[in-house]
Amino acid sequence: MNRISHTNNYFEEECVMESSEALLSSVLDRGRGVLRLKPNFVARFYPAYGRLGIKEIYAPGLGWYSERWLASCTTVLGSSVDGLSKVVLDGVEVFFRDVVKALPERVLGSVYAKLNNYSFGVLTKILDPGVQIPLHFHARDIHAKRYWGSNPKEEAYHYLENSIGSTPYIHLGFFPDVSKEEVLDYLKKWKGDEILDLSPAYRCRVGEGFHVLAGVVHAPCTLLTLEVQEESDVGTIIQAEYQGGSIPKDQYLLNGPRTEEEVIEMIDWQINRDPEFHRKYRLKPEVVHSDSNIVEKWVIPPKKVKKFLVLEVRIAPNTRVKQSRKGPFLLFAYRGRGSVNGVKIEGGVPGMDEIFVTFEAMEDHTIINESSEHLVLYEVFGPHIY
Determine the Cα–Cα distance for residues 152 and 234; give it in Å rounded to an integer: 7
Identify whether 1 is part of a domain: no
71 shares its domain with 199? yes
**What is the chain's pLDDT, residue by residue, as a tens digit (386 residues)?**
433 233 344 334 444 545 568 888 888 999 999 999 999 999 999 999 999 999 999 999 999 999 999 999 999 999 999 999 999 888 888 999 999 999 999 999 999 999 999 999 999 999 999 999 999 999 999 999 999 999 999 999 999 997 777 889 999 999 999 999 999 999 999 999 999 999 999 999 999 999 999 999 999 999 999 999 999 999 999 999 999 999 999 999 999 999 999 999 999 999 999 999 999 999 999 999 999 999 999 999 999 999 999 999 999 999 999 999 999 999 999 999 999 999 999 999 999 999 999 999 999 999 999 999 999 999 999 998 88
CATH for 375 = 2.60.120.10
Residue 293 lies in a domain: yes
Residue 25 lies in a domain: yes
Are 229 and 334 members of one domain? Answer: no
Q: Is 95 within the bounds of a domain?
A: yes
The reported pLDDT for the residue numbered 18 is 52
> Would residue 215 count as lying in a domain?
yes
Are 363 and 305 within one domain? yes
261 and 369 in a single domain? The answer is no
Of 327, 326, 345, nearest to 337 (Cα)? 345
* Last residue in a domain, options 282, 303, 338: 282
Both 109 and 208 in one domain: the answer is yes
Domain extent, residue 176, equals 10-282
Q: How many domains does the chain have?
A: 2
Residues 267 and 316 in one domain: no
Residue at 78 is within a domain: yes
How crowded is the C-beta side of 76, counted as CA atoms within 13 Å? 21
245, 357: one domain:
no
Claim to verify: residue 15 and residue 131 sit in the same structural domain = yes
278 and 336 assigned to the same domain: no
Counting DSSP H helices and E strands in the chain, the numbers are: 11, 28
**Domain boundary, last residue among 231, 249, 282:** 282
pTM: 0.93
Whether residue 14 contacts residue 331, with contact meaning beta carbons closer than 8 Å, is answered with: no
Domain boundary among 232, 264, 282: 282
- Same domain for 329 and 201: no
266 to each of 3, 16, 273, 274, how far by Cα in Å? 22, 41, 14, 17
On whether both 123 and 184 belong to a single domain, the answer is yes
Looking at the DSSP assignment, which residues form a beta bridge with residue 195? none
**Structure confidence at residue 19 (pLDDT):** 54
Residues in the chain: 386
In a domain, 170, yes or no: yes
Mark whether 184 and 313 lie in a shared domain: no
Domain assignment present for residue 310? The answer is yes
